[in-house]
Chains A and B, each alone.
Chain A
């Protein structure tokens, strides 16, 4: 039975069509902004990326043809350091939270981890500066890695906990019923069962910190050359993008685009990888 087409119903129908179309427009705008961003980066970065970018060191302003080889290696170094610290701490904390912690203490740890997660990245930078740079009297990749690890820990911990808790009770109880100790159950049954989700959290976390700039501003600072030790100022891609984009030299702008494309490419590859690992239906770590 079709509704009678009174004027009021006609109005309601029009409102219906207009509003629903509008929501479609919103969705279109949102998605197309992604493509716009990618497009600009591909276009501007694509014509700027050349072999020099990956192989040469930065040249003084005004000279053409330099590259950001040291920043690529520098970023890799700093992120590796951050992961070496942050991933184990995060993972093991997550195991504690999921498997061993009593209710209230667990709540405290979770709350603190969320607190740490919410610290603005610039404030993390200040903390790392006063703790490490100020006391060691130099800028270093170590300080930068430490700062980034602080951002990695909560992401990894909460992600690990979330996916461990999703392992079905039956698996745990089965192992325990066979007389296995908790730690054996965890190591051989629970963690492997949750490994996809945990790996996802880790990959997403590492991808997230590799794009961070603010914590590196006063910890790793920057370097025109190859850093010869972990205890030295180190160049990194995000900081290079920042300094080059805000300078007046055309060649530096070109390099900033190239660096932006490379950085975004890495971040996207990591994200897409992580999201395809997670089986359909499982929720993503938030």
Chain B
């Protein structure tokens, strides 16, 4: 206690004298991988006390914007930057995939504790507002044994510009032509219905507290909060639960990432694949002027692609396929 008080007073004093003892790096972006990023940065700081990486989870869109504006040292996004977005940044950003994860449909329906099964067009119908009640025949068709109540579905989606939204709407565009033409796929769309919440954590929080609601969040948020989520029908027609294995299978069954390490594994083929799987990326500038920052970032990336990967499974993410991790390590050398 006394030590922390002294540390606090010293910090306050140091602030006013501008003394920067630790290498301080600021990043912002996706909420999807925020739990594991925050754990990585905390563990890394514990092992390397001279490096402080401050990550603010403000959504993928926020990460891309702040990186483009140059107000943060790195960004993070579940949606890879398009060529136009890359061109808009003064210093070209490099995509570093970090982990694999799944977006799940978490729900809170009293009476349906587990085992809800949903197919792609049903999900599209719910989020378009064409399927309004839980006991709609289309939902019943997927769930013959479930006790679905005659209640309105409370749809919860993201209010912020989100890579998770991109993955979700990308999936919906692939499984529902009507969604594709009416709404489309992007980090922020004109949602036909639903409540908006900030961040995956906001959506999870709202679903948890609101009966008869459904929302899409990163797998970990549902798992950590002991919330149920639905099994989704994949491209091969099988209902699959989001797990470490099904997400890894989706990555394995998809065509690989492009030379910039961008790519999508949504709606992957294969009986075991979970359709709402995705990579997530750290967006690192290819030129970092400050030598201290560059050293800290490159060393963190090396650590992340080797030791860091081991922590993925414990937090319900899947580590990168070994071959991909190796290739990505080579990209570190591109940072000048």
A61 touches B20 (CB 8 A): no
A248-B56 contact in complex given A55-B4, A69-B4, C-beta closer than 8 Å: no
Q: Would you call A225 and B52 a contact (CB within 8 A)?
A: yes
In the complex with contacts A73-B11, A73-B12, A134-B71 CB distance below 8 A? yes
Q: A55-B4, A139-B71, A246-B197 are in contact. Are A228 and B205 (CB under 8 A)?
A: no
Q: Determine whether the beta carbon of B19 is less than 8 Å from that of A229.
A: yes
Within 8 A of B (CB), among A23-82: 51, 55-56, 59-62, 69-70, 73, 76-77
How many of A's residues come within 8 Å of B, CB to CB? 35
B180 within 8 A of A: no
Option from A59, A61, A227 in Cβ contact (under 8 Å) with B15: A227
- Taking a contact as CB atoms under 8 Å apart, the answer to whether B38 and A224 are in contact is yes
Q: Does A222 touch B at the CB level, under 8 Å?
A: yes
Contact status of A247 and B205, CB under 8 A, knowing A62-B35, A229-B20, A230-B16: yes
* One of B15, B45, B54, B56 near A229 (C-beta < 8 A): B15
A56 to chain B: closest CB distance in Å? Answer: 7
Residue of A nearest to B26 (CB): A233
Q: Verify B20–A60 contact, CB threshold 8 A.
A: no
Contact A228 B71, beta carbon cutoff 8 Å: no
Q: Is A151 interfacial (CB 8 A cutoff)?
A: no
Q: Indicate if A249 sits at the interface (CB-CB under 8 A).
A: yes
- Kindly state the separation between the CA atoms of A62 and B224 in the bound complex, as whole angstroms: 7
Nearest Cβ in chain B — how far from A26, in angstroms?
A: 32
Residues of A within 8 A of B19 (CB): 228-229
Q: Specify the chain B residue showing the minimal Cβ separation from A232.
A: B24
Give A141's nearest chain B residue, CB to CB: B15
The answer to whether A248 touches B221, judged by C-beta atoms less than 8 angstroms apart, is yes
Q: Check B208–A229 contact: CB distance below 8 A.
A: no
Determine the chain B residues whose CB is within 8 A of the CB of A246 once the complex forms: 197-199, 201-202, 205
Known interface pairs A247-B202, A248-B225; A77-B12 also in contact (CB < 8 Å): yes
Select from chain A the residue with minimum beta-carbon distance to B2: A55
Beta-carbon contact of B41 and A138 below 8 Å: no
**A90: min CB distance to chain B, Å:** 22
Residues A224 and B55 in contact, CB atoms below 8 Å apart: yes
A residues near B26, Cβ cutoff 8 Å: 138-139, 221, 223, 232-233
Complex-state Cα separation, A224 to B1, whole angstroms:
19
Task: Tell me whether A56 and B35 are in contact (CB under 8 A).
Answer: no
Assembled-state Cα–Cα distance A76/B4 (Å): 16
Residues of B within 8 A of A61 (CB): 34-35, 38, 201, 224
Contact yes or no, A138 B12, CB < 8 A:
no
**Is A133 close to B, CB under 8 A?**
yes
Q: What A residues does B16 contact at CB under 8 A?
A: 230
Cα separation A226 to B52 with both chains bound (whole Å): 9
CB distance from B56 to the nearest CB of A (A): 5
A137 at the interface (CB under 8 A from B): yes
A270 to chain B, nearest CB (A): 20
Complex-state Cα separation, A66 to B12, whole angstroms: 20
A222, B70: Cα distance in complex, Å = 17
In contact, B72 and A138 (Cβ under 8 angstroms): yes
Mark out the residues of chain B between 34 and 93 whose CB falls within 8 Å of any chain A CB in the assembled complex.
34-35, 38-39, 41-42, 45, 52, 54-56, 69-72
Contact A248 B8 (CB under 8 A): no
Give the docked Cα–Cα distance between A151 and B34 (Å): 33
Asked if residues A223 and B54 are in contact (CB atoms below 8 Å), the reply is yes
- Is the CB of B21 closer than 8 A to any CB of chain A? yes
Q: A62-B224, A73-B12, A229-B15 are in contact. Are A248 and B208 (CB under 8 A)?
A: yes
**Chain B residues within 8 Å of A222, by CB:** 56
Q: How far is the CA of A61 from the CA of B217 in the complex (A)?
A: 15
CA distance A62 to B38 in the complex (A): 11
Residues from chain A with a CB closer than 8 A to the CB of B225 are 248-249
Q: In the complex, A221 Cα to B58 Cα: how many Å?
A: 10
A37 to B55, CA, bound (A): 33
Complex Cα gap A221–B225 (Å): 26
10 new A-B contacts, CB < 8 A, other than A134-B69, A228-B21, A229-B18, are A60-B35, A221-B56, A231-B18, A232-B26, A233-B56, A247-B201, A248-B202, A248-B204, A248-B205, A248-B221
Chain A to chain B: the 4 pairs with minimum beta-carbon distance, closest first: A248-B205, A60-B38, A55-B4, A248-B204
Q: List 17 A-B contacts (CB under 8 A).
A: A55-B1, A55-B5, A56-B4, A60-B35, A61-B35, A62-B35, A77-B12, A77-B15, A221-B28, A222-B56, A223-B56, A228-B52, A229-B20, A230-B15, A248-B201, A248-B205, A248-B225
